[in-house]
A = this chain, B = another copy of it.
Amino acid sequence: MSDTIYIYDKLFDFTRSVFTKMGCSAADAKLATEVLLSADMRGIDSHGVARLSGYVRLWEAKRINAQPNIRIVHETPSTAVVDGDAGLGLVVAPYAMNIAMEKAEKVGTGWVSVRNSNHFGIAGYHAMMALRQDMIGISMTNASALVAPTFSVERMLGTNPIAVAIPADKQPPFVADFATTTAANGKLEILQRKNAAAPLGWVQTHDGDASTNASELKNNGALLPLGSDRDHGSHKGYALGSIVDIFSAVLSGASYGPWAPPFPAYVPMPSNMPGEGLGHFFGAMRTDAFRPKQEFKEHMDNWITRFRQATPVPDQQEVLIPGDPERRMEEERAKNGIPVVNSVVADIKAVADKMGIDYASLHS
């Protein structure tokens, strides 16, 4: 069966209605929708409307507070800790990123660690907020444990993504946004739907053996850190995922490592959690805190232009700059709509029924 195509504006109105029915304020419902659907627009389908039903279930389980009192609990001129009051990460994260940017405006850089939050959508959205003010933006989050450290069979870390957005002048910005695993879980989900095998190095069995089974997580297997195995640097991916976990959760007072709260509402919360909710970490750096802004931007143009010209492997595609594929996808989907697979369409219909929203409005 072919995908259903949604037009962004219709999907936006629908999704906003869902968040409004959950009890979000008008501003929060709009913001949460914008953050969530930025994933669909940029082609990171696993993190967009596909997760809407998951957010609704977390709200039903009272793990998401639709009317949070998000607040700063500690700060210095360049840092803050934000308590998300169990709010939607989609709303808590931009709040925290704005604080990082305000601090950067005053003292050059701003760094905010967040506790008591939930899944925040794609890391890239929050990092890219900084681009609006010609700042460098950094965003990361911990997540429920699916990843085994090097030498382990136990799931100890989430896919813990890192995003870094860097402004340029005439060139589009540099936007890296990646899970600290070899492959994001969303890529496994795509293979599962196709009944296809995964490349070796993405997952391991519950005994730690190499596996090509895209459903290995259902057998208590684990995702592998970037690098796949020790010989190929998995200890580096494990270190990166750990740094994200510590900056996001140990600095803020969120729950970390294997105690990070699970996204699926049917999974019980871990016992003896050492902190509150999920954690995030955000940074903003004014480029002119280092050198004149225009000079920086022109050198970024030069950097980007030179890397685009790097000699390609014979008969392969040209070299890309981080952010290129997502930007092209965004242009394409703005024109042609967002294709959504049938299992997600069924989920969306169920959400519409549950929340008393007319599904037909998505196609009117």
Binding site for B on A (CB under 8 A): 74, 76-79, 81, 106-109, 111, 113, 148-154, 156, 164, 166, 174, 176, 178-183, 199, 201-202, 207-208, 226-228, 231-233, 235-240, 242-243, 245-246, 250-253, 256-258, 274-275, 285-287, 289-291, 295-296, 299-300, 302-303, 306-307, 310-314, 316-320, 322
CB pair A251–B296 under 8 Å, yes or no, is yes
Q: Is the CB of B233 within 8 A of A285?
A: no
Q: Which residues of B contact A208 (CB under 8 A)?
A: 313-314, 316
CB atoms of B111 and A285 under 8 A apart: yes
Contact A319 B151 (CB under 8 A): yes
| B residues in contact with A317, CB < 8 Å | 151
The residue that A303 contacts in the complex, of B107, B246, B302, with Cβ under 8 A, is B246
Question: Which residue of B111, B152, B176, B310 contacts A154 across the interface (Cβ within 8 Å)?
Answer: B310
| Residues of chain B contacted by A207 (CB below 8 angstroms) | 313-314
Contact at A182–B232, with CB atoms within 8 Å?
Answer: yes
Docked complex Cα distance between A250 and B302 (Å): 10
Q: Report if A252-B79 is in contact (Cβ < 8 Å); known contacts: A233-B183, A285-B111.
A: no
A157 nearest CB across to chain B (Å) = 9
B79 x A285 contact (CB < 8 A): yes
> What is the oligomeric copy number?
2
- Assess the A108–B79 pair: CB atoms within 8 A: yes
Please name 22 pairs of A and B residues whose Cβ atoms are closer than 8 Å in the assembled complex, sorted by A: A76-B108, A76-B286, A77-B107, A79-B109, A79-B286, A108-B111, A111-B289, A150-B320, A151-B317, A151-B318, A152-B310, A152-B312, A154-B311, A180-B236, A182-B232, A199-B231, A202-B232, A208-B313, A250-B299, A250-B300, A256-B299, A256-B303
List, in ascending order, chain B residues with CB within 8 A of A227's CB.
182, 226-227, 232-233
Question: In the complex the two chains form, what is the Cα distance from A101 to B17 in whole Å?
Answer: 48
CB contacts (< 8 Å) of A79 on chain B: these are 108-109, 285-286, 289-290
By beta carbon, the residue of chain B nearest A306 is: B257
Q: How far is the CA of A106 from the CA of B77 in the complex (A)?
A: 9
A-B contacts besides A77-B77, A156-B310, 17 pairs, CB < 8 Å: A76-B109, A78-B109, A151-B320, A164-B239, A166-B243, A174-B246, A176-B236, A176-B239, A176-B243, A179-B236, A202-B232, A208-B313, A208-B316, A227-B233, A228-B232, A232-B232, A257-B303
